[in-house]
Amino acid sequence: MTVKVSSIGLKGLEGYLVQVEVRITPGTESMVIVGLPDASVKESRERVIATLSHFDMNITDQKVVVNLSPAEEKKNGPLFDLAIAIAALRELNVIKGVIPIETAFIGVLSLDGTIVKAEGMLPALVSAKALGLKRVYFPYDSSIPVHMLQGVECIVVQHIEEVVNHLEGQESLSLLPKLAPHSQEPLFPNPPQKDFCHVISHEQGNRALEIAAACEHNVLMSGPPGCGKSLLAETVPSILPALTNQAQLEVLSLYQLAGERKIFHQTVPFRHPHHSASSVAIIGGGSTPRPGEISLAHHGVLFLDEMAEFPKKTLDMLRQPLETGKVTISRAHSTVTYPSSFLLIGAMNPCPCGYLGSNSHYCTCTDKQIQSYRNRLSGPVYDRIDILLTLQSVNLDQKAGLQETSEKIRMRVEQARTLQYNRYKMEMSNAKVPFEILMETSPLTNEQQKMLTNVAVKQNWSNRVQIKIIRLARTISDLKGEDVISDSAIWEAMTLRRWGLHKSHAIARET
């Protein structure tokens, strides 16, 4: 007789159903695991044999064959320990009842039968409902918000004897740790955030970043050292809407796969990698592919300070994620895809010395040095930037009156996003929605199209840049509560793209 028990495997962030089949027959003592297991799965053999001894089960002179189906998928990680042990106990008639196929088991076994947590449990649990599972047994992990997992009965266990007793109808789970209450409140208090009311005399920057936050438009800021680029970027999370339950689960799953801990569940991620970070750290990868900074910034902000100092190869790797909202990492033994839909904010100096156009310092860079510095960002990368923002240094005594708070700006951002979601009948922003749908719901007039074409010819804008201007104009109109794209919105959108940083003669040097 062969016993089948369900478990969950992971391919990147996506979970798939694994059927654990166990058959025990007389023969030479051995335990074989087939189905493309990696080293950590093969090591389950010793852990499972040690666990069976707790039930006085001796498999001497017996051959145990474990098949992990589907056979063509490579199995990674030790999450199948519990499922293998349960299937073996059912085959040995320790468990007498039928184990429903809609019940899954995930967890790692210790030699004393204790069930411990492992990497990847949260994304596996998130996938359970979509896989048609109704109940999942798994070990306790304080970082997993069990109250947010809906549609699946979650049973937390600490020892394999508890699982056996529960399957046999003995409700002996009263000693389990208490689960988090059913609440939408974060498990930890939100961190203190910077507020736009503390930003001095950067009205143009505040306006540009409000537009960016309302629709996830990418921004590149240029200005001399100390003008406030980093401050503005670090303040953006304070005007972004709180994460939904599904978004929180996706973000927490990515952090768990990367081996990092995210404490503040409802706040959007803010990633700020140093320019010396490798392309693998930024994009993701490794011998066993893991999420990189662009995936850890999913549903949040990726801030690249001193963007021109990043390797050009690394910046060019951002093209696909910026366009599709996901990154595919291919290796010889596996190919995984991670979500990476983020708001990119870049900051750089206008020239190598940083003082081109400054009112207080003289620029010592030659035209060739300036051109070489700006060419570190390729044309395709510039094309994927929606807003080009030039900043100037300000004095502390320029503060006049009360500045607008982040709370007020966030309210307008949330209203604009609500308009977009209602228009497209899904949670899709103007920056991400397919262009055909955007034009179907918000067509330009003939005069507006002609105006945009004339300016695009003079500015040498590509078709991608023109599409981004239309998306920007739609967002500006949403912030104003307008049903159609207005002429003023198109003019403002074109103004946000008239920087032309990649051309050496776009900004005149002081002499």
193 pLDDT more than 50: yes
User: In terms of domains, do 200 and 158 share one?
Assistant: no
346 plus 469 within the same structural domain = yes
Got the DSSP string for 371-414?
Answer: HHHHTTS-HHHHHT--EEEE-----GGG--SPPPPHHHHHHHHH
Give the tens place of pLDDT for each residue, 404-421: 899 999 999 999 999 999
86 lies in the same domain as 235:
no
pLDDT (average), residues 469-476: 96
Rounded CA-CA distance 23/330 in Å is 35
Give backbone dihedrals phi and psi of 316, rounded to 5 degrees, phi first.
-65, -25
Is residue 389 in some structural domain? yes
- On whether residue 141 sits in a domain, the answer given is yes
Quick: pLDDT tens for 228-265. 899 999 999 999 999 988 899 999 999 989 988 766 56
Say if residue 432's pLDDT is above 70.
Answer: yes
Kindly give the pairing relationship between strand 115-116 and strand 108-109: antiparallel
pLDDT above 50: residue 188: no
Same domain (yes/no): 295, 420: yes
Which is nearest to 142 in space by CA: 87, 104, 180?
A: 180
Instruction: Name the band, by pLDDT with cuts 50, 70 and 90, for residue 143.
Output: confident
- What is the tally of structural domains in the chain? 2
Q: Distance between CA atoms of 21 and 80, rounded to whole angstroms?
A: 11
pTM of the model: 0.88
Question: Are 107 and 232 part of one and the same domain?
Answer: no
In this structure, is residue 459 part of a structural domain? Answer: yes
Domain membership of residue 57 as a residue range: 3-167
Instruction: For residues 139 and 206, state if they share a domain.
Output: no
What is the per-residue pLDDT across 274-284, written as a single tens digit (0 to 9) for each?
999 999 999 99
**Per-residue pLDDT at 392:** 84
Place 119 in a pLDDT band, splitting at 50, 70 and 90: confident
| 259: three-class secondary structure by DSSP | coil
Q: What is the CATH number of the domain that holds 202?
A: 3.40.50.300
The rounded mean pLDDT for the chain is 87
Confirm whether 50 is domain-assigned. Answer: yes
Domain presence at residue 503: no
Let me know if residue 505 belongs to a domain. Answer: no
Tokens of 229: 């680029």
Residue 423's pLDDT band (cuts 50, 70, 90): very high
Q: Are residues 163 and 201 in the same domain?
A: no
CATH number where 113 lies: 3.30.230.10
Same domain for 305 and 407? yes
* Higher pLDDT, residue 290 or 200: 290
| pLDDT over threshold 90, residue 16 | yes
Q: What's the rounded Cα separation, in Å, for the pair 476 and 482?
A: 9
Q: Say if 298 falls within a structural domain.
A: yes
Are 237 and 376 within one domain? yes
Query: Is a pLDDT exceeding 90 seen at residue 29?
Result: no
- The fraction of the chain above a pLDDT of 70, given in percent, is 91
Residue 319 belongs to some domain of the structure? yes
Eight-class DSSP state of 34? E
Q: What is the pLDDT of residues 360-398, one digit of tens each?
A: 788 889 989 998 998 899 989 999 999 999 988 877 665
The pLDDT, as a whole number, for residue 102 is 95
Helix (H, G, I), strand (E, B) or coil at 420: helix
Least confident of 103-117, 206-220, 317-331, 388-402: 388-402
User: Do 210 and 151 have their domain in common?
Assistant: no
Cα separation, 10 vs 311, whole angstroms: 32
Structural domain ending residue among the three candidates 167, 188, 208? 167
Specify whether 40 is located in the same domain as 115.
Answer: yes
Write out 66-107 in H/E/C secondary structure: EEEECCCCCECCCCCHHHHHHHHHHHCCCCCCCCCCCEEECC
